[in-house]
Homo-oligomer: A and B are copies of this chain.
Amino acid sequence: MTLMTTSSETGFCTGNQTPGIASEKIYAEGTIFPLKIGMRQIKLSKTYTTKDREFSSFPLYDTSGPYSDPSIVTDPKKGLLPIRDTWGFNDGKTSPSNDSSLPVTIPVRNPLKAKEGVGITQMHYARKGVITPEMEYVAIRENQLLESRASSFHGNHNNAKPVTPEFVRQEIACGRAIIPANINHPELEPMIIGKNFRVKINANIGNSAMGSSIEQEVEKAVWACRWGADTIMDLSTGTSIHKTREWIVRNSPVPVGTVPIYQALEKVGGVSEALTWEVYRDTLIEQAEQGVDYFTIHAGILLEHLPYAEKRLTGIVSRGGSIMAKWCRAHKTENFLFTHFEDICRILKTYDIAISLGDALRPGSIGDANDEAQFGELKVLGSLTLVAWEHDVQVMIEGPGHVPLHLVLENMEKQLELCHEAPFYTLGPLVTDIAAGYDHINSAIGGALIASYGCSMLCYVTPKEHLGLPDKNDVREGVIAHRVAAHAADLAKGNHAAWLRDELMSRARYSFAWEDQFNLSLDPEKTREVYRQSMASSVNLNKNADFCTMCGPDFCSMKKSRELNG
């Protein structure tokens, strides 16, 4: 595959072909709209025969964006190309003049918004029966050019039917799936979040007051996509929030989410009690015009929940949640995100920003899991979902947190029941409190399980969770760990493309096709490097030999097993 190497001058990633990783960027085309959907096609070293088809190459779902296309020159200072502008679907939008006083160094276009009284959200169109370019895009993307091929899946549920644009439309119309796609993020390659689609993962990036530069954060974002993040959240706090976000959005091929209360809090000097609806509202509009695709909004935490939170082992561990709790307690007033929720929806619908209803009361320890505080808030999130849907605003629901394995299923069941099947987006869950340093593994365990039950997107956790801010390598470890989890859930749900990939990997393994194994794995560079080191550290051997250093030639079971069959 094409890899991004770091330019020593800017710290940014640019597309370069790395020798030895056999894949190429290909594009599928839309039939309704003039779309080009990028995929990573692996060139296999030979032809593999599955039940009803031969494969000499295999197309993968690709989140890396234009950075992995060697024919595209990217320049982080200019941003990515506005591909969505070329899809011919621009009705209903207008462009007021831009506020040029904002501190942005990247070229900024005039932001779009919906004309007064005109619906422009994906949910609006879906309910009207209209298929948008974004719907066709995600349908083709989900299929991975693998429609109607049989796989070896056996199980009760089978998602092997091809995804059609009409099916996407239906899922969005009923709120069971969302396409986060702000009309001011034209660089976006649309993706869909919902339980009848491929399980997605989010990578959090963003600086804190504790250091790290804008360049570092943009680089992390680009690399997170390269390793497999389906969305990124910019959780920056501290200085330069606006500028950091502008750089990230302009360079991001995946949806960008934020938690607007963080910036609002900076605007009032870090004092929770000083927050006002007006400051928050202006922050929403500022970010909306920049192109943020979804907002985490902690509108579900109410005064009535606070006594339950006080009984907890670890209180409130959501940053946004703790800010709103302080505000509510100080003013003895209901959460303004709740009382102004319809106002929020009216803003969001003019840009088609999805709401991610924040779980302010997610448990921060397994002892607090599934308690009154958590499920009390979840019920409110369910009622807010219905309010947002009245405005054709797309919604997903954020979930825990720390939950022991035996209580994971109840989380999924309650969410489906209380939130009307709006997509569930969970942080983990972490299945123990004591795995600091290894919390990416902890989270992958809970994440795989809840995704196999129907959770639509997993927020990654890195090895630094509970200890510090992730660096680039932590982002890699976090993303891949959750790709393992998401893929495991896709297999459990019968995702067709997932089964075919595993089948090819196993056929490659059984025939000692090492290069194909590297390329089909989730992290080809690492796999190849680990193998190379293992072989290098042993006696001089034919590097394409029919065994590996685990067993050596005499004890290779696969070799013996093949001899048996031959």
Contact yes or no, B434 A325, CB < 8 A: no
Residue A317 lies at the interface, judged by CB distance under 8 Å to chain B = yes
- Which of B518, B539, B551, B564 has a CB less than 8 Å from the CB of A315? B564
- Which of B209, B435, B556 has a CB less than 8 Å from the CB of A553? B209
Residue A210 lies at the interface, judged by CB distance under 8 Å to chain B = yes
Q: Please, which residues of chain B bring their CB within 8 A of the CB of A323?
A: 560
Residue A222 lies at the interface, judged by CB distance under 8 Å to chain B = no
Q: How far is the CA of A489 from the CA of B449 in the complex (A)?
A: 13
A436-B517 CB under 8 A given contacts A210-B549, A367-B502, A468-B530: yes
Contact yes or no, B480 A438, CB < 8 A: yes
Residue A10 lies at the interface, judged by CB distance under 8 Å to chain B = no
Q: Which of A155, A440, A481, A550 has the most CB of B within 10 A?
A: A550
Contact yes or no, A539 B484, CB < 8 A: no
Contact yes or no, A404 B491, CB < 8 A: yes
A433-B469 CB under 8 A given contacts A272-B560, A326-B563: no
Q: How far is the CA of A438 from the CA of B522 in the complex (A)?
A: 9
A448-B466 CB under 8 A given contacts A317-B557, A406-B492, A560-B323: no
Contact yes or no, B534 A441, CB < 8 A: no
Contact yes or no, B405 A491, CB < 8 A: yes
Q: How far is the CA of A323 from the CA of B559 in the complex (A)?
A: 11
Copies of this subunit: 2
Task: Encode A458-476 as 1/0 by CB contact (under 8 A) with B.
Answer: 0000011111110000000
Residue A442 lies at the interface, judged by CB distance under 8 Å to chain B = yes
Residue A39 lies at the interface, judged by CB distance under 8 Å to chain B = no
Q: How far is the CA of A505 from the CA of B522 in the complex (A)?
A: 33
Contact yes or no, B468 A531, CB < 8 A: yes
Contact yes or no, A448 B405, CB < 8 A: yes
Chain A 273-327 residues near chain B, CB threshold 8 A: 306, 309-310, 313-319, 321-323, 325-326
Contact yes or no, A313 B507, CB < 8 A: yes
Residue A202 lies at the interface, judged by CB distance under 8 Å to chain B = no
Contact yes or no, A237 B554, CB < 8 A: yes
Residue A337 lies at the interface, judged by CB distance under 8 Å to chain B = no
Contact yes or no, B533 A502, CB < 8 A: no
A7 → chain B closest CB, angstroms: 22
Q: Please, which residues of chain B bring their CB within 8 A of the CB of A209?
A: 552-555
Residue A488 lies at the interface, judged by CB distance under 8 Å to chain B = yes
Residue A412 lies at the interface, judged by CB distance under 8 Å to chain B = no
Chain A 409-468 residues near chain B, CB threshold 8 A: 431-438, 440-442, 444-446, 448-449, 452, 463-468
Task: Encode A515-531 as 1/0 by CB contact (under 8 A) with B.
Answer: 00110111100110011
Residue A510 lies at the interface, judged by CB distance under 8 Å to chain B = yes
- Which of B433, B444, B487, B561 has a CB less than 8 Å from the CB of A316? B561
Q: Please, which residues of chain B bring their CB within 8 A of the CB of A535?
A: 468
A243 → chain B closest CB, angstroms: 18
Contact yes or no, B557 A432, CB < 8 A: no
Q: How far is the CA of A385 from the CA of B128 in the complex (A)?
A: 64
Contact yes or no, B502 A309, CB < 8 A: no
A380 → chain B closest CB, angstroms: 19
- Which of B436, B440, B491, B506 has a CB less than 8 Å from the CB of A527? B436
Residue A334 lies at the interface, judged by CB distance under 8 Å to chain B = no
Contact yes or no, B441 A484, CB < 8 A: yes
Residue A509 lies at the interface, judged by CB distance under 8 Å to chain B = yes
Contact yes or no, A238 B552, CB < 8 A: yes
Closest 7 CB pairs of A and B: A468-B534, A315-B561, A365-B506, A322-B560, A209-B552, A405-B492, A210-B538
Q: Known pairs A211-B538, A468-B549. 12 more at Cβ < 8 A?
A: A152-B367, A209-B553, A309-B561, A313-B510, A319-B557, A365-B506, A365-B509, A367-B502, A435-B487, A438-B522, A440-B441, A445-B485
Q: List 24 A-B contacts (CB under 8 A).
A: A152-B367, A155-B406, A208-B552, A209-B553, A210-B539, A265-B555, A313-B507, A315-B558, A315-B564, A322-B560, A325-B564, A326-B563, A364-B510, A364-B558, A365-B506, A365-B509, A432-B502, A433-B509, A434-B502, A434-B505, A434-B521, A435-B484, A445-B484, A464-B530
Residues of A within 8 A of B (CB): 152, 154-157, 208-211, 237-238, 262, 265, 270, 272, 306, 309-310, 313-319, 321-323, 325-326, 329, 364-367, 370, 404-407, 431-438, 440-442, 444-446, 448-449, 452, 463-469, 480-481, 484-485, 487-489, 491-493, 498-499, 501-503, 505-507, 509-510, 517-518, 520-523, 526-527, 530-531, 533-535, 537-539, 541, 548-558, 560-565
